[in-house]
Amino acid sequence: MRTTTTRRLAAALAAAGLGLAACTAGGSGDQSDSGPKAEEAQTIEVWHGWSAPHEVKAFEDAVAGFRKIHPNITVKLVKNQTDERISNAIRGGNPPDVVSSFTADSVGQWCQSGAWQDLTPYIAKSKLDLNQFPKAVQEYTQYKGRRCAMPLLADAYGLYYNKALMKGEQPPRTMGQLTELAKKLTVRDKDGTIKVAGFMPSAQYYEHQAQHLATQFGVKWLTPDGHANYAKDPAFRAYLQWNKSLIDWYGYANVKRFLRSIGQEFEASNPFAKGRVAMAVDGEWRTKFMQEEAPKVDYGTAPAPVADDQQARYGGGFVIGTVIGVPRGAKHAQAAWEFVNYLTTNTGALVTFANALGNVPSTIPALSSPNLTLPPQFKTFLDVFKNPNSSTTPPTPNGNDYIVKFQQFVQEEWEPGKVGDLDGALKGLDGKVDSALKLAGG
């Protein structure tokens, strides 16, 4: 799905004030035996966020197998639903039976408030093996032991490189190698204007958000007790220093000029597709975009580079994904769980969905299915997704607020050179994040 990250960030911001409000209606206990039994004739309503015709059809095709197995359950699919609508329906006591969201960042809110039911009783009764999901996936679908979501397709990040611009160079494995190669491959006008960027380090460049690149330095976003960790973890300084050193080499004014010239991420004029960027970190969906919009570009993919002192972690990357669950107050909870269980664990359904949207299927068995028909460059992302060194950002009761604050710091203060005391700035950032977490009940 091309707009995965854009939708996820927008949904997370929209949901920021809704997760706690949603807990005002109903209880949050075990509802796994509520409503009619799964084998009874009934209709379940499923809300999801996909809206484009090919996306809606992909969801319908993935659900077709469930309808055959459970002919007694009529499935009504409702497209283009936002987190705001979902939260309002739960708060009002009239939710659908199944809800899906692009916003794994909001899992902490939903789990803590009880807006999405704890699925642990359902999982236990179904004897579902959670080890079919990679560790990082298991992490972003629960909060403090309360698993209120299941994964439904995923995103994995890796390095894209233009083979013609690389001129025989191999993709870098470390950030030091990436920096050296970026400088070697960059082409400028006499006035410093960037004609071809070997690699654009700015967090303002598409998927080069701090969330995705800082992960490659092995950052620990939160302390074990759930507090902000920016000042305490030296990996954040390592990321920031790498980011700023390459930006300064380009010249911040030249970086800003380049960023203003590149347009929207999913336009055909994307600079990677046009040969204006030699290397870029991006999600797996870019392979489908390149297949459709830039089929003549000869490119390769590889895991994203890691910090120079962490080469054993090479092969992993940032992962996140779409989530699905059963809201509190669902009238057909048992049938809803059967639907969620099928859609998130059935290899055929996941492969059908993944092929249509260009996303990573979210179980280990589906990753090796011979029925995957994605471009050859896609294999990198299948490998990254199941790599034990891959990681995600942990859920909190106020969503991705701590990530948003760090991104704003990098974008608005650090990159422009407004920070004189980095240690002090990071301590101040920790204080802001912790205050917000405390207010949200974290």
Q: CA angle, corner 359, sides to 353 and 362, nearest 5? A: 75
- Residue 56 inside a domain? The answer is yes
- Residue 62 inside a domain? The answer is yes
Among residues 313, 332, 354, the one where a domain terminates is 313
Q: Are 206 and 223 in contact (CB under 8 A)?
A: no
Among residues 364, 386, 408, the one where a domain terminates is 386
- Residue 418 inside a domain? The answer is no
3-state per-residue secondary structure call for 157-185: EEEEEEHHHHCCCCCCCEHHHHHHHHHHH
pLDDT of residue 264: 84
Structure tokens at 374: 């994605």
- Residue 378 inside a domain? The answer is yes
pTM of the model: 0.91
Are 54 and 187 in the same domain? no
Are 149 and 189 in the same domain? no
How many separate domains does the chain show?
A: 2
**Tens-digit pLDDT string for the chain (442 aa):** 444 444 444 444 444 444 443 343 344 456 666 678 999 999 999 999 999 999 999 999 999 999 999 999 999 999 999 999 999 999 999 999 999 999 898 899 999 999 999 999 999 999 999 999 999 999 999 999 999 999 999 999 999 999 999 999 999 999 999 999 999 999 999 999 999 999 999 999 999 999 999 999 999 999 999 999 999 999 999 999 999 999 999 999 999 999 999 988 888 889 999 999 999 999 999 998 899 889 999 999 999 999 999 999 999 999 999 999 999 999 999 999 999 999 999 999 999 999 999 999 999 999 999 999 999 999 999 999 999 999 999 999 999 999 999 999 999 999 999 999 999 999 999 999 999 999 987 6
For residue 213, what are the contacts with CB-CB under 8 A and spacing of at least 6?
201, 203, 239, 243, 281, 304
Are 133 and 262 in the same domain? no
Are 139 and 261 in the same domain? no
* DSSP codes joined into one string, 240-299: HHHHHHHHHHH-HHHHHHHHHTS--TTSTT-TTTTTSEEEEEEETTHHHHHHHH-TT--E
Are 362 and 298 in the same domain? no
CATH code: domain of residue 45: 3.40.190.10
pLDDT of residue 17: 45
Among residues 386, 411, 436, the one where a domain terminates is 386
Are 328 and 379 in the same domain? yes
pLDDT of residue 373: 93
Structure tokens at 357: 């949207």
Are 48 and 99 in the same domain? yes
Domain that holds residue 229: 158-313
Are 345 and 300 in the same domain? no
Are 183 and 209 in the same domain? yes
How far apart CA 339 and CA 325 sit, in angstroms, is 10
- Residue 151 inside a domain? The answer is yes
- Residue 435 inside a domain? The answer is no
pLDDT of residue 3: 43
pLDDT of residue 333: 97
pLDDT of residue 442: 67
Are 164 and 150 in the same domain? no
Are 118 and 175 in the same domain? no
pLDDT of residue 15: 45
pLDDT of residue 1: 42
pLDDT of residue 269: 86
Are 77 and 173 in the same domain? no
- Residue 129 inside a domain? The answer is yes
Q: CA angle, corner 42, sides to 39 and 43, nearest 5? A: 130
pLDDT of residue 440: 84
- Residue 169 inside a domain? The answer is yes
